[in-house]
Amino acid sequence: MNLGLAGKVVIVTGGSSGIGAAIAGGLAREGAVPAIVSREPPRPELVAQLGADWLFHPCELAEDDAVVAAVDAVAARFGRIDGLVNNAGRNDNLGFEATPAQFRASLDINLVHYFGMARAALPHLKAAQGAIVNIGSKTSITGQGHTSAYAAAKGAVLALTREWAVALRGDGIRVNAIVPAEVETPAYAEWLKSFDDPAARREEIERRVPFGHRFTTPEEIADTALFLLSGRASHTTGQWLFVDGGYTHLDRAIE
């Protein structure tokens, strides 16, 4: 499907790996210009997908000035910003044993830069009547246990999605969120390795996913993000799209 994204400049935070990399690669295949804002540069296999027109800007997203500088660099290079995908973050498993200072630090890496990126990109998004896609997490809906800070951050991401959709409706900017559950990413693979029997743990989790009893692929998240960024979603805003094989809302005991 031609989504009409050719030539559109889209910032993807955390776009060097996992879900972000799948989104960046998908944008390139649609003829868009991915601007990857991340700590680490993209790996060679992703670079091979990006073609000639893309940008990597190294950034520590927990630093406010660095966020503004990243947006300025993208705008200076391409002269426009048509979309923003707020994706970067990690489940740091901070529960009640964490200090308030650690809790606040987790919000910086999982929430605050979402606001900072949107605020810095806003003049450009207004000019383009662009779109924002926020990547959330099922932890904000289902809970997980031992992850208070991450769950709080992701809950706020969903609230901000609705707030920004209302606040920016007059500017023609659409704002939506994608809520993944169990996604086949390098970070998830590393987490599975922390168990005594990773294969058994994986099988146990997959059984809980009603549709197909399998993990979601990063590309399936990316396909939904591309749709939301495109004009094909021209009347879709303020929505939370659950791309999770039914994990969140269907009975996970279904066999």
Q: Which residues are catalytic?
A: 150
Determine the straight-line distance between the first and last CA of the chain, rounded to whole angstroms: 34
- Rounded CA-CA distance 61/152 in Å is 18
Q: Please list, in sequence order, all residues whose beta carbon lies within 8 angstroms of the beta carbon of residue 203, skipping any fewer than 6 positions away.
A: none
Q: Which residues pair with 56 in a beta bridge?
A: 36
3-state SS track over 128-157? HCCEEEEECCCHHHHCCCCCHHHHHHHHHH
| CA-derived radius of gyration, the chain | 18
Nearest one of 132, 139, 209, 229 to 179, comparing CA atoms = 139
AA identity, residue 136: G
State both tokens at 56. 């990597």
